[in-house]
Amino acid sequence: MESPSRARSALGRRSVLRLIAATPVVAALGTACSSAPDEPDQLLALANAAKSDARLAEAVARSHAKLADVANEIATARNTHAGALQQEIDRLNPRDPEDPPSVPDAPPQQAPGSASAASQALVEALNSARDQAAGLVPALPDYRAGLVGSISASCASLLEVLR
């Protein structure tokens, strides 16, 4: 038979071990509960930029025949990016099909007057999109990081096509 002091210390050790074992669970629950549903989705800004870039590229394609093929490719790619981001936003934050998308359509844009200025506007938009996406990757869960990383890489590839 164990002495009462020995039984208390064993019980104390067990309690301490239980507390240590439960700490990650409590931390995980705290993290899961702390993300406020009112916070905007991190991907909204990327999706809005993708739609805006697509409208710019469409305007450039209409206004500058020499850039039309490349600008149409950029518009197609950026519309695809916006669609993929919208799907991911909706996957995590389902919305009623009757509601409008969380990423509204961007207003039409006017292309800069010269082909050189139009090309530069596309370069700036793609550089910004690439950098914005790349900067967000480390803070995202794996699946989202893969999606956003591939969008960043796609923008980098589109930049090479423009050059």
Q: Which residue has the tokens 């590229």?
A: 57
What kind and span of H or E run contains 5? helix 4-34
Token pair in block for residue 57: 């590229």
Threshold 0.75, pTM exceeds: no
Q: In terms of residues, how long is the chain? A: 163
Flag residues of the chain having pLDDT under 70: 1-38, 101-102, 104
Return d(Cα 46, Cα 53) in angstroms, integer: 10
User: Residue 95: its pLDDT value, please?
Assistant: 77
145: containing domain: 42-104+115-162
User: Residue 40: its pLDDT value, please?
Assistant: 79
* DSSP state letter for 59: H
Cα Rg of the chain (Å, integer): 25
User: Which residues have a Cβ under 8 Å from the Cβ of 118 and sit 6 or more positions away?
Assistant: 60, 63, 64, 67, 71, 111, 112
The torsion angles phi and psi of 43, rounded to 5 degrees, stand at -90, -10
Whether 54 is covered by a domain: the verdict is yes
Whether 23 is covered by a domain: the verdict is no
CATH number of the domain enclosing 76: 1.20.1260
User: Residue 13: its pLDDT value, please?
Assistant: 54
**pLDDT tens per residue, range 35-81:** 445 677 899 999 999 999 999 999 999 999 999 999 999 999 999 99
Whether 7 is covered by a domain: the verdict is no
Dmax (CA) for the chain in angstroms is 94
Count of domains forming the chain: 1
Whether 130 is covered by a domain: the verdict is yes
User: Residue 35: its pLDDT value, please?
Assistant: 45
